[in-house]
Amino acid sequence: MDRAPNSIGPTIDVALLADAVQAVRGKLFVLGGGWDTLWVRSFPARHPSMAIGLRLRVPTSWREDVLDLSVELQDADGAPLLSKPLSHQVKLPVQRQLPSPTDFGVVRSFTFNNLLFGREGSYSFVISVDGDPLSRLRFSVRARPTEQGSS
């Protein structure tokens, strides 16, 4: 990829964790969004489904026609938890001047099913464009406090 040394590339405008997200016609439809702690009964814990909703801002001067948007799940030590990052090839619009002469938005959602968390701790989704990390969406997985029975 031939980019000018000082060129400005895509940035992450919005990134959030949710129970479910759909990206349709430039909008994010979010169910149970904005959380940062996943409460589980015990470890290892398998979570049935979680999603990421995000919006990229891409400069109209961006020369590439396609970008590779990927998300990788990492533990607190930076070790990957997925066999490979989840990625989307994003074909950029031909008409880049509308509605803004400077940049345009691209919305996408990623859904992760049956994720396994081996231990309590901090985790993050690393969001990258063309292999360059742009954002880190951090969250915690914690054991739910047990209720103390009355005696």
pLDDT, average across residues 24-33? 96
116 compared with 147, residue with greater pLDDT: 116
Tell me, yes or no, whether 32 lies in a domain.
yes
How far apart CA 25 and CA 9 sit, in angstroms, is 23
For the stretch 101-117, pLDDT in tens is 788 889 999 999 999 99
pLDDT of residue 99: 61
Tell me, yes or no, whether 150 lies in a domain.
no
pLDDT of residue 147: 72
The answer on pLDDT for 122 being more than 60 is yes
pLDDT of residue 107: 95
Tell me, yes or no, whether 109 lies in a domain.
yes
The boundaries of the domain holding residue 105 are: 11-143
CATH of the domain at 116: 2.60.40.2550
Q: Cα angle vertex 22, ends 110, 40, to 5°?
A: 60
Cβ–Cβ under 8 Å, residues 38 and 47: yes
Give me the residue label for tokens 């400077």: 102
Q: Cα angle vertex 136, ends 4, 58, to 5°?
A: 35
Q: How many structural domains compose the chain?
A: 1
Tell me, yes or no, whether 129 lies in a domain.
yes
Range with lowest mean pLDDT among 11-20, 25-34, 92-101: 92-101
